[in-house]
Amino acid sequence: MLTANTEKEKEALKLGASDFLSKPYDIDILCTRTINYAQLHHLTQQVQDQNMLLEEKVQERTLALEEALAISKETEFEISTRLGRAGESRDPETGGHIKRMSHYSKLLAKLYGLSDEECELILYAAPLHDIGKIAIKDEILLKPGRFEPHEYEQMQEHAQLGALMLEGADRYPVLKAGHIIALEHHEKYDGTGYPNGKKGSDIHLYARIVAIADVFDALSSKRCYKDPMPLETVLDIMKKDTPSHFDPELIKLFLDNLEQFLEIKEIFKDENCQPLNQEIKIQSEKELTILFVDDNELNRILITEMLGLLFPNIHIISKENAIAALETDISKYDLILTDITMPEIDGYQFYTLLREEKSFQSPIIAITGLNTDRDKDKILQHGFNHYISKPLDIHELENSLKRFL
């Protein structure tokens, strides 16, 4: 503001003027102040632009983090579901059991008042309840008839074996919940269950929920050793067993809302859920050996089991890293599956060593969670015969390997 009326100075500044010069003014002061304010305005604009840019970057990073967390959650759910299916697939007559009891468990958790997040957690952890069956011998697991005492003892080991498979997964909520459920779903409310004889509320709530879902489906479904029981008989048995076996509050919720559970039973009845081993088993007349390399133990368990189901006549060897794999006789493998992201020697370096130093000529397929087009192009340009994306789809795994075996 330039004025000879000095009384207007306060009013001008209150209205938002940056400065006030009285006439007559000094030209040098006018020029200096003009330049100073112009520079100040320029710097202010720069700060504002930088703040906007930073805010955009924060939003981008936040979105990327949310997407990464969502992908991580999906991957964990997928691993859990497929591990559960792998365990159930060894019993050719369970059909939709894993789907029914998982949804029974989620519904019962919801009726109990658990949050949506915990209900979802139970839905995806429940399939892991019998993962330990993978380690039980077929002659016991598939026996048509009652177990002898020593056979029953061996069958009971699946609870501890399943917990052992899922041990040390505290960073992963679904697998952590699966560990609890696998270990405790055969405990009984009066303390007469196994493996640790836990009693009452000492048994984790998740396991108490799954126990009801599992027993209801076991009694009401056909198994290799029995026909399905009539609903009335199933309910009579469960009511009779409630004081000893089940949490009274949970069983009351189950019985009071039985119609909702029967709706789930109808949706996932066995004729609508083909047994996994009949769905995917592929016979191979060739005597082949596959090497699978991945630093993640759960991935090794999952994919080894998948490969065993898909190609029962093929020998599968898994190694935890490229170094361990290179110490074996590479020439005996008919195909190599390898993860890309591994410590010390990654998948690309492993490929180069196989081709150049070991002169390995058979197919090498990458398994990767790096799913951008750029990543896939890099894999193929490096020389890999093919790639399979994570989370794994068993049909994609089947189709990919059939091209090269």
Question: Which helix (H) or strand (E) covers residue 337, if one does?
Answer: strand 335-339
The pLDDT of residue 338: 94
Nearest Cα to 126, choosing from 107, 105, 110, 156?
105
- Quote the pTM value: 0.54
Q: H-type helices in 89-157, by residue range?
A: 97-112, 116-125, 138-141, 149-156
Please report the beta strands in 73-220, taking only residues with DSSP state E, as ranges in sequence order: none
The pLDDT of residue 293: 94
Encode the chain (405 residues) as per-residue pLDDT tens digits: 887 776 777 777 788 888 878 778 788 888 888 888 888 888 778 878 777 888 887 777 777 766 666 655 666 666 666 666 666 655 544 557 888 888 999 999 999 999 988 998 998 899 889 888 888 887 887 776 678 888 889 999 999 998 988 888 787 788 899 999 999 999 999 999 999 999 999 999 999 999 999 999 989 987 655 678 899 999 999 999 888 999 999 999 999 999 999 998 888 776 545 444 443 333 444 578 899 999 887 778 778 777 777 777 788 899 999 999 999 999 999 999 999 999 899 999 999 999 999 999 999 999 888 777 788 889 988 999 988 887 777 777 887 887 787
CA dist 350 → 12, 316, 337, 345 (Å): 74, 19, 11, 6
Which residue reads 């202010």 in tokens? 44
The pLDDT of residue 208: 97
Nearest Cα to 217, choosing from 126, 87, 107, 100?
100
The pLDDT of residue 273: 52
The pLDDT of residue 131: 86
